[in-house]
């Protein structure tokens, strides 16, 4: 996958918007205003995704392309180097996992609003 296909995949999810809240180089994907993916455009080929802490550790042990989140909480975020990462299905699953973690953390009213979209 490349940045454009990842961007399109993220935007296909319900309630997702893209912003540049930090600088003009870091694309941030949000669901209902909460971050679930960061794509540093100045470093093509990588992205940060939220992850369950235990699963984050397992993934880091299994894949050399996955490491603790760059400039993020090392417990809850992973950096995935998707150039050279051949498992597109796993990358999509990790995007889904990050999205779902954030959706679960939304307030009830926000989840209801998301359901109505």
Q: What are the structural domain ranges in the chain? A: 3-116
Q: Which two tokens stand for residue 59?
A: 């993934």
59-82 pLDDT tens trace: 999 999 999 997 788 889 999 998
pLDDT score at 71: 79
pLDDT confidence of residue 113: 95
Contact 6, 16 (CB under 8 A): no
Output the average pLDDT for the chain. Answer: 93
Rounded-to-integer distance, Cα 77 and Cα 90, Å: 16
Does CATH number 3.40.190.10 belong to domain 3-116? Answer: no
The DSSP annotation for 36-79 comes to EEEEETTSTTEEEEE--HHHHHHHHHH-TTEEEPTTS-TTTEEE
Task: Return the percentage of the chain with pLDDT > 70, whole number.
Answer: 100
């Amino acid at each position: 996958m490349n940045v454009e296909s990842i961007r399109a995949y993220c935007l296909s999810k319900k309630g997702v918007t893209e912003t540049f809240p930090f600088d003009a180089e870091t694309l941030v994907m949000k669901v209902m205003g909460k971050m679930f993916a960061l794509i540093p455009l100045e470093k093509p080929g990588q992205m940060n995704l939220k992850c369950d802490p235990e699963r984050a550790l397992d993934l880091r042990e299994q894949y050399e392309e996955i490491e603790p989140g760059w400039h993020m909480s090392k417990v809850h975020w992973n950096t995935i180097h998707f150039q050279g990462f051949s498992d597109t299905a796993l990358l999509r699953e990790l995007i889904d996992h990050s999205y779902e973690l954030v959706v679960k953390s939304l307030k009830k009213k926000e989840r209801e609003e998301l359901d109505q979209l």
